[in-house]
A and B are shown apart, each in its own frame.
Chain A
Amino acid sequence: DAKTTQPPSMDCAEGRAANLPCNHSTISGNEYVYWYRQIHSQGPQYIIHGLKNNETNEMASLIITEDRKSSTLILPHATLRDTAVYYCIVHGGTSYGKLTFGQGTILTVHP
C-alpha cells in the first residue's frame, strides 16, 4: 500500500469546517483512500473512502485531487466531539485488507 503523510496536529473552532489534508503521492490506480478516526483510545471508526471522485456521507466529505496524489477530509461543522486522531490510509490491490495506520493527525476542536 502507498504511504501517506499527514500533519501531526491541527486546531479548529467549534462550528467551523475542519479540513484535514493527506498526501499520498505514490498511490496506484487500484488503491482507495480511506479515513478513520480514533476518539480517546476507543477503537478506530470508519469515516469515508473514495477512489477518484469526491465523496460525501453523513459524517464528512472527501475531496481527492485529479492526479490522486492528495486528498482532504472535510468535517463541515466541527463539534467538540470531533476531537480525535484522524488517520488517512491508502489501501487496495493485493494487501487483502491489512490496513496500515500511520501517526495520523490530532484534531482539537476548541469552543
Chain B
Amino acid sequence: NAGVTQTPKFRILKIGQSMTLQCAQDMNHNYMYWYRQDPGMGLKLIYYSVGAGITDKGEVPNGYNVSRSTTEDFPLRLELAAPSQTSVYFCASSYNAQIGQGYTFGSGTRLTVV
C-alpha cells in the first residue's frame, strides 16, 4: 500500500517555465489537498478536491491550477513559475473529510524557482 505518492521529489525551474506536480493515492480517498510550506512556516492550503471532477480554491490559489479527472490523481499545475513559488509542496488525502479521519500526506516536492 503506497499511500500518497508525489513526484518529482525535487525540481529547479526557471522564471516563466511551467510544470505539473503529480500526486496519486491508492486508498480510494475522496478528498485530496495541495499545501505549500515556506521555510519556517506552517502549511497553507492551495487547492482541494472533494471528489472526481470537483475542485475548489484554498487560501493561496493564485498562480496554480488543478484538475481531478480520477479519484486517484490530483495534479497541481504551475503555469508561469515565479520566485515566490519556491516552496515545499505537500499533497494529502482523506476518506471522510469532515470528522474523525486522519489525513495522509505525501513526502513532498521541493521546488526552487530561479
Contacts and interface: CB of A to CB of B under 8 A. Distances in A.
Given A44-B90, A49-B100, A99 B45 contact: yes
Nearest to A50: B100
Interface of A: 30, 32, 34, 36, 41-46, 49, 87, 92-93, 96-104
B45 A43 contact: no
Chain B interface SS verdict (over half) = strand
* SS class, residues of chain A in contact with chain B: loop
B50 interface: yes
Contact of B107 (A43, A96, A98, A102): A43
B43 interface: yes
Contacts of A104: 42
B42 A102 contact: yes
